[in-house]
Amino acid sequence: MKYLFWVFLLVCLVSCNNEEYLPLENTLLTVEVPENFPDLVYDIEANPPTQLGFELGKKLFYDGKLSSNGFISCGFCHEQNFAFTHHGHQFSHGVDDLEGTRNTPTIANMAFFNEFAWDGATSHLDLFPIIPITNEV
């Protein structure tokens, strides 16, 4: 018990500092819909796009640490140079090169859709990334 006290005290001392907390400025991004596009389906007001949110999303999209082997990122299958699809594959390959049951759909302009995946696996854009993240492949 005495050992835990000293560890707790050490952690408290190390975590203290004199620096003033300065919150980061988070700029709200504007969404411009081209004239020939339909209305947005996604509720932009519920999750407004910000500069820091955009940067975080991009970092997470290309970070393989979220996968079970620490290597396969979202960008591994959603290749930017192929309109964010997995070009040349009938079904996408996941961890350990296992073949999945779906091919990677494009993720461009998804705010204009109300159904995602060919079988309608989800009807909400915020839930769509859960499908590949929780897939065993």
> Which residues on neighbouring strands pair with residue 122, listed in sequence order?
116
- 77: exposed, middle or buried (C-beta count within 10 Å: 0-12, 13-18, 19+)? buried
| Six-digit token string for 78 | 């959603």
pLDDT tops 90 at residue 21: no
pLDDT digits (tens, 9 = 90+) for 43-102: 999 999 999 999 999 999 999 998 888 888 999 989 999 988 888 888 888 888 888 888
Q: Which pLDDT value is given to residue 38?
A: 95
Q: Which pLDDT value is given to residue 97?
A: 83
pLDDT digits (tens, 9 = 90+) for 103-129: 888 899 999 988 887 777 888 888 888
pLDDT tops 80 at residue 14: no
Whether this prediction's pTM lies above 0.85 is answered by no
Domains in the chain (CATH in brackets) are 37-137 (1.10.760.10)
